């Protein structure tokens, strides 16, 4: 049986090094019989660090690959590798040079710039987690941290609306309203502008609830779908909205997107740009 060949790949970066590592993996996937060891060196910034890594690569016949954008650092790596007879591959500089030549624009030479683009993604994930954590009034403390608090009787689109707004990087908490139910103290401490009261037409809500019960294989004619009960719930909700002095939206004939647009406009966030320094607990 043929002994598998071994290769040490030294993966260098002036940031976290994910780009170089993923590319190295993609290349080595084409060589299934080569036993590859990836030796990663993120956050490379000094000549001393470079020389130490290149020396190790020289000793074991390894190959150096890197995605260095810090000005002058890639050239230092190349020179050190030449002096030590080490093969090196600069994965970014040739393309950067060609783009500069084509566009006339100079690169920023900012290490890890791609991760700034991804901060919005991580903010959105945090907002989604917040919406799930504080869905259906699970923890009233969330009202004090939320960008938006949605109130409404059952089947007024609170949860899907919460998730849609979370996709806009807004932290949303919601509370289902049931007559005579306790209203958390925290709600009265929230800025009224952040509170949105959702309501619906009696007939529309009756149909939605009946269809919901049928979908569960249950009798559609229950207290949950009773017209008088629905009227009672809507009145209870409206009375609370009046006390709070909050914005009220009838979602009867509106899509989630339409309702969300009204909320964003109300908050002055129709061109919402998240504060990337804000985090969710």
Domain assignment present for residue 249? The answer is yes
Is 154 annotated as belonging to a binding site? yes
Domain assignment present for residue 273? The answer is no
pLDDT, the chain, mean: 88
Same structural domain for residues 147 and 23?
no
Q: Domain with 29 in it: what CATH number? A: 3.40.50.2300
Element (H, E) at 244: helix 227-244
Quick: pLDDT tens for 186-222.
999 999 999 999 999 999 999 999 998 998 898 999 9
Domain assignment present for residue 135? The answer is yes
Letter string b/e over residues 60-92, b meaning 16 or more CB atoms within 10 A of that residue's CB: eebbbbbbbbeeebbebbbebbeebebebbbbb
Is 155 annotated as belonging to a binding site? yes
Highest mean pLDDT out of 10-14, 46-50, 112-116, 244-248: 244-248
What range defines the domain where residue 131 resides? 117-266
Indicate the pLDDT class of residue 114, thresholds 50, 70 and 90. low
Query: Strands 63-67 and 247-250, how do they pair?
Result: unpaired
Rg of the chain's alpha carbons, rounded to an integer? Answer: 29
Domain assignment present for residue 225? The answer is yes
Which residues make beta-bridge pairs with 63?
9
Is 152 annotated as belonging to a binding site? yes
Domains held by the chain: number: 2
Is 220 annotated as belonging to a binding site? no
Same structural domain for residues 37 and 148?
no
Domain assignment present for residue 204? The answer is yes
Is 153 annotated as belonging to a binding site? yes
Domain assignment present for residue 276? The answer is no
Quick: pLDDT tens for 9-28.
999 998 878 888 889 999 99
Is 62 annotated as belonging to a binding site? no
Is 108 annotated as belonging to a binding site? no
Which residues make beta-bridge pairs with 268?
none
Q: What is the pTM of this model?
A: 0.57
- The pLDDT assigned to 275 comes to 37
Is 243 annotated as belonging to a binding site? no
């Amino acid at each position: 049986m043929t002994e598998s060949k071994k290769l040490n790949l030294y993966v260098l970066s002036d940031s976290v090094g994910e780009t170089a590592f993923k590319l190295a993996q993609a290349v080595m996937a084409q060589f299934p019989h080569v036993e590859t060891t990836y030796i990663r060196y993120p956050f490379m910034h000094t000549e001393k660090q470079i020389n130490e890594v290149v020396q190790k690569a020289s000793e074991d016949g390894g190959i150096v690959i890197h995605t260095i954008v810090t000005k002058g650092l890639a050239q230092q790596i190349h020179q050190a590798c030449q002096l030590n007879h080490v093969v090196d591959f600069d994965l970014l500089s040739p393309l950067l040079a060609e783009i500069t030549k084509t566009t006339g624009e100079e690169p920023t030479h900012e290490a890890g710039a791609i991760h700034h683009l991804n901060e919005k993604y991580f903010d959105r994930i945090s907002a989604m987690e917040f919406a799930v954590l504080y869905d259906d009034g699970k923890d009233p403390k969330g009202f004090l941290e939320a960008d938006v608090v949605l109130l409404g009787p059952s089947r007024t689109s609170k949860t899907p609306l919460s998730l849609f707004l979370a996709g806009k990087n807004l932290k949303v908490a919601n509370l289902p309203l049931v007559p005579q139910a306790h209203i958390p103290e925290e709600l009265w401490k929230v800025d009224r502008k952040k509170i949105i009261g959702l309501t619906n037409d009696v007939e529309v809500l009756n149909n939605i609830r009946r269809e919901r019960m049928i979908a569960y294989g249950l009798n559609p004619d229950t207290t949950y779908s009773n017209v008088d009960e629905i009227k009672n719930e809507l009145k209870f909700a409206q009375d609370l909205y009046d006390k709070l002095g909050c914005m009220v939206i009838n979602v009867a004939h509106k899509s989630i997107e339409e309702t969300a647009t009204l909320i964003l406009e109300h908050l002055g966030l129709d061109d919402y740009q998240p504060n990337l320094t804000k985090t969710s607990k």
